[in-house]
Amino acid sequence: MGRAKIAMKYIQKGKSRKLSYNQRINGLKSKISEFSKSGAKACLIVYNDDDNFGAMTWPEDPTTVNSMLQEYEHQKIETPPKIFDVKDYFENKKDIAQAAIIKVRKDILKNKYPTWHPNFNQMEEKNLISFITSIEEKIQVCNGKISMLKDMQQNDTNFLQNTPHMQIMVQENVTIPQMQQQIHAPMKSIDDIQAENVTIPQ
């Protein structure tokens, strides 16, 4: 079973309070001294209610205490501690998941499109050279087709860009109303055309 809780309350008697204070201080000094033996820099500052004695420090050398305090303040200003909150937690999980997805995709591509076939290990040198030559020829053919398609696409683009600038050539003596009349004039029937061609005898 655990130890029973001790009720914390202010010690009314001055003599008992000072005795308890000295016991607690000696206990803290002992603990921090043991802690500093591990190589860590430790400092203890305790203020007593009696101002005549001032603050109690460990180590007792004021120069050492001031040096440790200045070093602490300097580190606190230069490199504030990183607070790892919930947002950082999920960002870390997200990065891990993305790295796993990328690795799986690479493995899939490696299995689907292997860069080296086991049969290549059994091929002779002349067969490998012939195979490489065939691959290079196919690459050149593909590059030629790609270049031809690019030229065709560029020609189509130039044609479309120049089409809006094409002008319709019209006669200089034809005015806009005459053009509209010619465009919107109704079609004549064959009888009307024949009647126009009949000459009336004098």
pLDDT the model gives residue 51: 60
Q: How many residues does the chain have?
A: 202
pLDDT beneath 50: ranges in the chain = 165-174, 176, 179-180, 182-185, 187-191, 193-194, 197-202
Domain ranges of the chain: 14-78, 82-115, 124-160
| Tens-place pLDDT, residues 109-147 | 888 777 777 777 788 888 888 888 888 999 999 999 998
Q: CA–CA separation, 170 vs 173, rounded Å?
A: 9
pLDDT the model gives residue 80: 66
pLDDT the model gives residue 8: 76
pLDDT the model gives residue 98: 94
pLDDT the model gives residue 94: 93
Instruction: Provide the token pair at 127.
Output: 């067969």
Cis peptide before 177 (omega within 30 of 0): no
**Distance spanning both ends of the chain, measured CA to CA:** 146
On whether the CB atoms of residues 44 and 57 are closer than 8 A, the answer is yes
On whether the CB atoms of residues 43 and 59 are closer than 8 A, the answer is yes
pLDDT the model gives residue 183: 45
On whether the CB atoms of residues 65 and 59 are closer than 8 A, the answer is yes
pLDDT the model gives residue 50: 67
pLDDT the model gives residue 37: 87
pLDDT the model gives residue 202: 42
- Which H helix or E strand runs over 56? strand 55-58
